[in-house]
Amino acid sequence: MENNTKLFKQISQRLDNLAKLPSCKEGRELQEELSKKGFERRDFMKWAGMMTATLALPSTFAPLTAKAAEVANRLPVIWLHMAECTGCSESLLRTEDPSIDSIIFDMINLEYHETIMAAAGYQAEANLESAMKKHKGNYILMVEGGIPTIEHYLTIGAHGKSGAQICREAAEGAAAIFAIGTCSSFGGVQAAAPNPTSATSLDKIIKKPVINVPGCPPSEKNIVGNVLYFIMFGALPALDAFNRPKWAYGLRIHDLCERRGRFDAGEFVQHFGDEGAEKGFCLYKVGCKGPYTFNNCSKLRFNSHTSWPIQAGHGCIGCSEPNFWDTMSPFEEPIANRLYATSFNGFGADKTADVVGGVILATTAIGIAAHAIASSFLKNEVE
């Protein structure tokens, strides 16, 4: 309790200091923008409470989360696009009914974002260079897309700089760096075999710490939440072995799945469109990678938070995991013994699913065991 009180005061002081900085959106305040879009103060505070819980903070911190959102326009953001489909940006920008998250993102001091800015060519390059110089040491860098290491495969702008070169230059003056989406976090589909461009993740080409926010695309709240966390704490959140924030990627899809009870009861969809599918049975046997995937999709959902793939009837494809395109496919088939040793006399996860009972705990532990092994390997490699 005493630690929480001390932390509350520290965050409050930091936010007060940020509030004194000039706003990049002169004449526009968050509350006014929310009101224009039909959101009342009560709606905003409900959102703040929910986001506080999402960030794994005490409920008493909700007013601080709200204040962090209100001063977000004091913090400059540079957003770079590499080899990608722009889906991560679209998850924030292309909402049918603007959400509070997308409105907050609109209010952020977004100094550079190729998809939404009017400038092009030499002017765009000048804007990027000006932003990096003006806000050196204070801006948040967000990078979307995998980075080819055969650098002539991705040249950008009037001077034809490589994507990797632009990322390195932008990373030098960044206060915090976020790899947005699986492509930037782990290479994504660009790095899938045979990987002709030798595409890789952002952290492989720069030397500074990178927070990975994977997903194809990640939830808008996972994007906005990380910005709010940095605004509040001025530091990086607790990360797992793959540099993903634990508040967002600490649990498996399987742990939070609405069909988990069906799994435990041994009720599985055998093929799409069968009676089990109509009844909402577990999708493991038709390829769901939930036991191997760490994300909070079932909590946050997509399409204005109305649904997510498993609710819609298709299994998780494991898109927030490293190398998912190679290791998780074919997406409509279970992994079984193809990737992880699920043991018990060599039986794979398929066999475990058939023999529901005491052995069911083996499948429950698959993701955790694989994650622990990978985490241990990575930590040893880093050390």
Enumerate the known binding-site residues for [4Fe-4S] cluster: 85, 88, 183, 216, 254, 257, 282, 288
Residues placed in the known binding site: 85, 88, 183, 216, 254, 257, 282, 288, 297, 316, 319
- Which residues does 269 contact at the CB level (< 8 Å), separation at least 6? 276, 277, 281, 282, 283, 285, 286
- Which residues does 264 contact at the CB level (< 8 Å), separation at least 6? 356, 360
- Which residues does 197 contact at the CB level (< 8 Å), separation at least 6? 83, 148, 149, 150, 153, 154, 190
Q: Which amino acid would we find at residue 336?
A: A
* Three-state helix/strand/coil letters over the chain: CHHHHHHHHHHHHHHHHHHCCCCCCCCCCHHHHHHHCCCCHHHHHHHHHHHHHHCCCCHHHHHHHHHHHHCHHHCEEEEEECECCCHHHHHHHCCCCCCHHHHHHHHCEEEEECCCCCCCHHHHHHHHHHHHHHCCCCEEEEEECEEECCHHHCEECCCCEEHHHHHHHHHHCEEEEEEECHHHHHCHHHHCCCCCCCEECHHHCCCCCCEEECCCCCCHHHHHHHHHHHHHHCCCCCECCCCCEHHHHCCEHHHHCCCHHHHHCCCECCCCCCHHHHCCCECHHHCCCHHHCECCHHHHCECCCCECHHHHCCCCCCCCCCCHHHHCCCCCCCCCCCCCCCCCCCCCHHHHHHCCCCCHHHHHCHHHHHHHHHHHHHHHHHC
d(CA 224, CA 145): 18
Q: Are strands 161-162 and 155-156 parallel, antiparallel or unpaired?
A: antiparallel
Residues placed in the known binding site for [3Fe-4S] cluster: 297, 316, 319
